[in-house]
Chains A and B, each alone.
Chain A
Amino acid sequence: MSMQKHLRIDPRTGLLLLVMSNIIAFTQNSFSVETGWILFLCLLAAFCGCGRAAARWLLAFCLLLGLQYYVFPVSAKIIATSFSIFANYTRRMFPCLIVGMLMVKKTPLRDLIVGLRKWHFPQKLIVAVSVTLRYFPAIREEAGYIRDAMKLRKIHGLQKVECLVIPLMISATGTAEELAAAAVTRGIENPAPKTSVVELRLTAADGACILAGVLFTAASCLIR
């Protein structure tokens, strides 16, 4: 708990911000609302201790805007056709990606689980989702090892796909068995209500974030 100098955002606030980012991405027609929302999120990320990442997001956003408005209209047809929709969609995804990054970096999975439990998500869904989220880094790690092993044996072309996918699947099956054994012995199937050492409380900062989010969402829906 040495992170007290940075702002801490409740996982539930993060989830609400995500929902609102999705609504804004879906309804947005106003450029100023979009930019304002991204600025707000970058500021929030900076306060939470992700200053450098926030700066990088802002830079990337400016770059995309520059590409879309200044480079594509004058560049070759093939380039413009290939990358216009890519740039457009990436830009739309930005708010969600920023919130997502913030949550991945600053919210421990344990807090997220407690938050979801407080919202009365079904326990089964929480278990499955948290396993999925936790398994992504494991896939990356596994894939790295498998790639190293492939280098030793000079495997090329389409065979590479098979040689990557099959060990990944087999190790996934093994992990599932082991993890399940560990989880069952720790009482995952115990029907009694779960307890946790993590206590979540909504603070004034959470309230301010949610309020700002609601205002931006309303603006995005109303301003055409």
Chain B
Amino acid sequence: MASNNLNRGLTGKDLITVGIFSALYFVINFIFMLLGGLHPLIWILMPGFIALFSGIPFMLMCAKVQKPWAVLLMGIITGLIYFVTGQFTVVILVTFVISCALAELARAVTKYGSFQGNTAAFVLFSLGMTGSPLPLWLMRDSFLSQISSQGIPADYLETLKAVSSPAMLIVLFAAPVVGAIFGAYITRGMFKKHFVKAGIV
């Protein structure tokens, strides 16, 4: 029974590991979420930035907990805490669930241990954050009319309209993919440089 990773559930130790790395992931995520408020362009590139910088906690968690449901649990925790800040709208909830489920699938197919498999899972996981700026496209008209009635200058509306073009939608989804792949390779470099030496992975 103990020989097969797939049949074992998460133990207390796994839960604590996931919890701790979720905290680290969330801190990185939150920093970029705040920066995203400065300009719409940063907001749209935000999922990409998060992916670039959150590789280490994610990949370390994957290395430590090579079992099903770890990634989903990390996604749920991130979602629950975002709930406190009021950022967690319905759209981001949907994208998060889809991306976590796909990431779980990617890990299950690649048997949890391989770098490529975990990178694929990380790419899919990172795509979940695209739900934050996605309402710009999904509810473009109501969103624009809503904020124009709240004392927002016309120039800003023009910027927003330009930024929410269909071409930018591709950028929105491409950014986390590129960011996550770079992030995963940076992480592998760090693993080789520090963590293997320290006997952690």
Contact = CB atoms under 8 A, between A and B. Distances in A.
Given A72-B153, A176-B20, A136 B85 contact: no
Contacts of A168: 24
A84 B43 CA distance: 13
Contacts of B76: 125
B60 A173 contact: yes
SS of A interface (majority): helix
Contacts of B27: 136, 139
A132 B24 CA distance: 9
B64 A86 contact: no
Interface in B72-89: 73, 76-77, 80-81, 83-89
A124 interface: yes
B151 interface: yes
B: interface residue count bin: 35 or more
B16 A127 contact: yes
A40 to B, nearest CB: 16
Interface in B153-186: 153, 155-156, 159
A172 to B, nearest CB: 5
A136 B30 CA distance: 12
A139 B23 contact: yes
28 contacts: A22-B88, A26-B90, A72-B152, A77-B155, A81-B39, A84-B152, A88-B147, A92-B86, A94-B86, A125-B73, A125-B77, A127-B15, A127-B16, A128-B18, A128-B19, A128-B73, A129-B19, A129-B80, A132-B81, A135-B24, A139-B27, A162-B190, A166-B190, A170-B195, A170-B200, A172-B24, A176-B20, A189-B12
Interface of A: 18-19, 21-22, 25-26, 29, 68-69, 72-73, 77, 80-86, 88-90, 92-97, 99-100, 124-125, 127-133, 135-136, 139, 162, 165-166, 168-170, 172-173, 175-177, 179-180, 183-184, 188-189
